[in-house]
Structure 1
Amino acid sequence: MEKNLLLVRHATAEDITNSAMVRDRDRELTSRGIMESARIGKYLKDNGLKIDAILCSPATRTHTTANLIAEQLKFDTDNVELADGLYGSGPRGYLALLNGLNESLETVIIVGHNPDITFFADYLSSQDCGGSMSKATVIHLKFDDLSWAEISQKSGSLVKRVDVKDLN
């Protein structure tokens, strides 16, 4: 059975470079990031994929990105799952999560962070994914005749890369 994975880098978040008051994990989306998330969600809705699960790191910016995408998709935001393995555990954390997914799921969105999400896309894809993912970028990978547990290095095909800045 075909599996579809949509890897999404979180949208634009506040810059805390000079702030000791906000932890990285607590960074909020900017107004621009809110709009980017909604545009990605609308794009995904307009392209007709039925989403079975949305998972994100517990960081505020990824959770908000995931919820805004879910709203556009009419996906119940209560069903957006927080996954600790998507924050700071590297591509191995992403792979462990993916390999543990329920086999009944066919199309899954994972919202995460750079550089891990870019490395993960490159690890899974048998084609070039186009370099570092900008904020609010989606990489759609397809896996033919594999279970989630069988997905590994270079086992996926790149369907499409969409940068939010290229959407009208």
Structure 2
Amino acid sequence: MPITLYIVRHAKAEDRAMFMADHDRQLTPDGIIAAARMGRYLHQKGIQPDSIISSTAPRAKDTAKVVAEQLGYDLAQIRLDEKLFDGGPKAYLAAINALPASTQSAMIVGHNPDVSYLAEFLTHQNIGSMSKGAVIAVTFDNLNWAEVSGRTGSMEFQIGPKQLPHND
């Protein structure tokens, strides 16, 4: 049975202020709305991840929470991983490889360029730069999470907030 990974780039965040650490940037109101719309879209597609992992940065963590709320996911179960902020694609792969074998689908929420590089590494597709709030679904056949690596996944879909239907 295939396992599925949903790679999510955090939604639109405030610009970096002169005295603000990059880590501490917050979602904008538009970012919150886009994350909610994306979560609702995923819910309508019947997507219900067993596990959600997020960067500790507020813009990623809050994107994860808003999407999780729309999916009916228990917010207390979101796992925060500080290595996903500035840890590079290897940190994302380590978090994925550590998922329990019982997990059928997982969502990882983080930052560019790492999430775009991760999607390209896993699928060997030219993804380009994921837009803010975008989701890429990758499936892996006959693998467990510890075996997930380069070129082992197939991209099922890629969608950003601007591509969502407006009748939600």
Which TM-score band applies after superposition, normalised by the shorter structure?
over 0.9
Partner of 1:123: 121
- Corresponding residue of 2:78: 80
Query: How many residues end up aligned between the 2 structures?
Result: 165
Taking the aligned partners of 1:148 and 1:66, their CA distance within structure 2 comes to 21
Q: Which runs of 5+ in 2 are unaligned?
A: none
Give the deviation of 1:50 after TM superposition: 2.2
SS at match of 1:159: strand
Partner of 1:2: 2
Query: Does structure 2 retain, via aligned residues, the 8 Å contact 1:126–1:158?
Result: no
**Cα separation, 2, equivalents of 1:87 and 1:62:** 9
**Counterpart of 2:40?**
42
3-state DSSP class of the match of 2:109? Answer: strand
Amino acid at match of 1:14: E
Return the TM-score normalized by structure 1: 0.95
Identity of aligned residues (%): 44
SS at match of 1:154: coil
Q: Distance in 2 between matches of 1:15 and 1:67?
A: 21
Write out per-residue CA displacement over residues 99-147 of structure 1, whole angstroms, 9 at most, x where no aligned residue.
1110111110100000011000000004333x11010110100000100
Q: Which moved more, 1:48-57 or 1:58-67?
A: 48-57
Is the 8 Å Cα contact of residues 48 and 73 (structure 2) preserved in structure 1?
Answer: no
Partner of 1:70: 68
1:19 is displaced (CA, Å) by 1.9
Q: Secondary structure at the match of 1:140?
A: strand
Q: Is the 8 A contact 2:47 2:71 kept in 1?
A: no
CA–CA separation in structure 2 for the residues paired with 1:34 and 1:150: 34
Greater CA deviation, 54-63 or 76-85? Answer: 76-85
Separation in 2, partners of 1:103, 1:50:
17
Could you say what secondary structure the match of 1:134 adopts? coil
Aligned counterparts of 1:89 and 1:2: Cα–Cα separation in 2: 27
Select between 6-15 and 120-129 the one with higher mean Cα deviation: 120-129
Give the counterpart of 1:103 among 101, 110, 113. Answer: 101
Q: RMSD between aligned alpha carbons?
A: 0.9
